[in-house]
Structures are given as C-alpha cells and as structure tokens.
Amino acid sequence: MLRNAALSTLIALALSAATLGTSASALAAGPPTGPSVSAASDDLSGYSNVERIAGDDDSDPDATQALLDSWTPEAMESAVNMDVAPGVSGGDSSVTGAPIIGPQSWLAQPAPATPDATVDPGAPTGPVDADSADATPVDNPPDDAQSDDTDNSGDTAQDLTGRIAQPRSSSWPTNGLPTVGALFFNVGPIHQRCTGTVISTSTGNIIATAGHCIWNKLASWLPPVPMPNPVFVPGYHNGQAPYGKWTVKDRWIASSWRKNLHPDYDYGFMVLNKRNGRQIQDVVGANGWRTTAGYDNWVEITGYPDNRDNPLQCYTWTRQARNWLWQLVFPCDNYHEGVSGSLLMERFGQQAPGYGIAIASLGGYQQGGTSDNVSYAVRWNIHTAALLSAAVRGQ
C-alpha cells in the first residue's frame, strides 16, 4: 500500500540509501553464483529468474542479538509502513473510483499482463516441487480471531463486478494470529514494517510477503535496494512479541521484480533462522497454500496497517482486476498503508482455528493500491511455485 511521506523522512531515507547500495551485491540470479549462494548451486541449476538476497547467517551471535534487542516495544510501536516514497497526484482512478495520491515509483512499472500476453522474460521458472500444501497447525491455536465458519458455497462475487469502490467489507482489530506477523526494518533512522505470514514447507522456515517488502525504492528518484536486516515478529500486537523475534537468513524474489518492479511478481519469500533450536513452523504452525485459485474467492486477510498497533482482520470477495491475468482486487475497510505482504486465505479456520490456504499476496498493481478500502493482490501461480521451490531447495 502507498502513502505520502514527510519531507524530513524522505531526506533521511535518501541519505540512508547510500549505505544500502552496497548490499545489492549480495543478490544473485539463478542459476546462482557467488559465495553467498554457492552451497545451493547444485540444487538450483534448473531454475531461471529466481534471485536470492543473503541475510543474517547467524555467524555473529552478538550482532544478531544486537539486532533483535534494537526492536524494543517502543521501536516496534513507532514503525511506519514500507511505502514511504514522495506523493504525487494524478494517475488512473478508473478501477478504484478514487483519486490516486501516492508515490511515483509504481507509475513507472510495466502494466500487468493480460491473458493473451507472452510470459515475461523475468518470470521465475524451474522444477516445481508442489503447487499446493495443507496447513500444518500446532497445538496452540489462536482463540481471539474470528474463523470462517459460514457456508458461502452458494455465494457469488456479482456484487464486485461494478465499481469496486461501492461494496464495503468490514474489518476489525484482533490480537493477531500466531502465523501472521509484522516484518520490521531499520532503514537509516526510520523504523518500518510490512506483513509476513508463515506458509507450510518441508523445511518449516519460510514466510511469504510482498516483493516490495524485500526489494524497493526508498523514493521514486532512487534506484531500488534490498530492505536491510528484516526481523519477523509473529503474532505481534501492541509492542508485544508473543512468539519471539526471528531473523532472516535469505530472501527470494523474481528477476522481473528486481529489474522492473513488475506488478505481476510483487511477491517474495523469506527463509528464517532457527530460534532456540526450533523452526518457526514448529512453534506457530503454518498456513497451507495453492497456486491454482481463480478470480472469485471468499478470503480472510489479516494485516498490519501502520495507523494502528494491532492487526485488522477482514473477510471479503475477490474478483479479477480489469482483464489482468494475475491481479485480484477486493474491498476491505480501513486497510491503511502497512498491510503490504498480507496473504489472502481461503477456507480460513476450516482445517484448524486460525489457519487457512493462501492464494495471493497483497501487492501488485500500485503495490497494493492507494485507497484504504480497496486493495490489490497478485494471484499465486506457476511462477510463484517455482520461486517457492527454489527457496526451499536453496537452503
């Protein structure tokens, strides 16, 4: 999601960009080369357009602890959303029915693909180990989030075929879900955050988020850079870290996102380090996922708007955004900036309370949208599955 930023914040971010520029050398395209990814080169030889950004390898425990300690309750409470580029009026309001006021960075992005378009040359390809996975719940399910126990089998998305600004879908605050958390970054002096979600994998250590929460412009006139030193706090609310703070070992994005910020590839995956000898999936469980969903879906979404310190949960219908192949659009009230990276979950609470099946990442067109009440998401697909398989194999 996009926002306007104060001039003083922009200056601070611009100055910090110089220190971030060197970290881009840690990024390698598949097939990977270089010391940061050499251990995975054999397993990834069949992949193209999958890129890894090396993170914290736990080789310096003191530095890791200092990073975790820096995220005090006060620091987490002061974090703003990831999208802090300069505002600009104008743009295309025909989809949302609302004027566009946001950063210029997305205005330079390629247009989303239509069904008859050729595959983007930067799309991830390679062996796909699976196109879906079931949720893997643990024995401490949440009791404060509303599960989807209604029968929507006869519903349709007809009410979303008109102007998307008209239908409304209420959201409500919760104390969070164990598998959904805030992703915190220190960009210079600025505390920032996105949303991340644990998904089920054989390695048990992967979260999904938006591509622009991994690699993005700090301002429209600056080149994109990797977001430094992310820390994931599952179940975060009101300055609390009920399941601990987790550092990130590697981040994975599509080449098309790194090179062009292409909205169809605005998703990414993070490999977390163990905490106290345990993988994140063993501690909080994980959501299922699939890459074969259509356009009309009844979904649950939990995300962290930056104008509040606990997450909002919403149930809503998705529909196809215009005639775009991978873009979904949906209404959720009060989804202010900061919910970027939230996952759209179908069948929420049906396998176990608090768990669902992820089908899309909040992001994509306009990096998720410019309205608090209408958002966009990238529908997961074969390219998403290839990137995820690479993230699993490349450890």
- Tokens at 49, concatenated: 């357009």
Give the pLDDT band of residue 85 (cuts 50, 70, 90): very low
pLDDT in tens, 312-362: 999 999 999 999 999 999 999 878 666 889 999 999 999 999 999 999 999
Domain residue limits, the chain: 7-393
Q: Are strands 268-272 and 225-226 parallel, antiparallel or unpaired?
A: unpaired
**Whether the model pTM is above 0.75:** yes
Query: CA torsion sign, 226 to 205 to 358 to 372?
Result: negative
pLDDT in tens, 4-58: 333 334 434 443 443 343 333 333 333 333 323 333 345 788 999 999 999 988 8
Higher-confidence residue: 197 or 90?
197
Beta-carbon contacts of 138 under 8 Å, excluding residues fewer than 6 positions away, are 178, 282, 283, 284, 285
The 8-class DSSP code of residue 83 comes to -
> CA dist 191 to 73, 79, 105, 162, 208, Å?
12, 4, 20, 39, 20
Confirm if 341 and 384 have CB atoms less than 8 A apart: no
